[in-house]
């Protein structure tokens, strides 16, 4: 059995060991021994996971900004909470935001806004008219001054 087939088997039964072995092979420049199929799969999944994470933070920021700006009936009671949530989500998002992830958010801002809008419409009981197109720039959402 070759090292590649051993790695493939290891991936299926002991992921952490497969990962440690793969890292060692990369450090030792033993590229021909890598389980490239699973390595590519894992790297693609890592990108998807990072993209989904920043999308979720952006969605939370949009939700709270919409509530803060448009739900006037609840403003006095909830404004401080919503502002704190916006601050928290911005901090978390900006800590790990790379240029590639920022580009991803720019390309997907409309989709993220649609999800946030659906949520706030439900939360407010469809009693408020919200903008159908995101009224915020990415810089606004990220808190960039």
Q: pTM, whole model, 2 decimals?
A: 0.88
Judging by beta carbons within 10 Å of its beta carbon (0-12, 13-18, 19+), is residue 35 exposed, middle or buried? buried
d(CA 37, CA 80): 49
Confidence of residue 7 (pLDDT cuts 50, 70, 90): confident
Average pLDDT in the 18-34 region?
Answer: 95
Other Cβ atoms less than 10 A from the Cβ of 55: the count is 19
Average pLDDT in the 74-97 region?
Answer: 97
Judging by beta carbons within 10 Å of its beta carbon (0-12, 13-18, 19+), is residue 129 exposed, middle or buried? exposed
- The pLDDT assigned to 1 comes to 45
More confident residue, 142 or 4: 142
Other Cβ atoms less than 10 A from the Cβ of 104: the count is 19
Stated length of the chain: 145
Average pLDDT in the 55-78 region?
Answer: 97
């Amino acid at each position: 059995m070759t090292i590649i087939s051993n790695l493939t088997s290891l991936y299926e039964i002991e992921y952490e060991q497969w990962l440690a072995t793969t890292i060692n092979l990369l450090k030792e420049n033993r590229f021909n021994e890598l389980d490239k199929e699973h390595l590519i799969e894992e790297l693609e999944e890592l990108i998807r996971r990072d993209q989904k994470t920043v999308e979720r933070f952006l969605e939370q920021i949009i939700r709270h900004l919409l509530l803060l700006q448009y739900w006037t009936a609840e403003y006095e009671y909830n404004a401080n909470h919503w502002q704190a949530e916006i601050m928290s989500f911005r901090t978390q998002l900006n800590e790990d935001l790379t240029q590639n992830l920022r580009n991803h958010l720019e390309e997907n801002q409309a989709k993220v806004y649609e999800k946030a809008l659906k949520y706030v419409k439900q939360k407010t009981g469809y009693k408020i008219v919200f903008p159908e197109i995101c009224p915020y720039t990415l810089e606004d959402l990220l808190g960039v001054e």
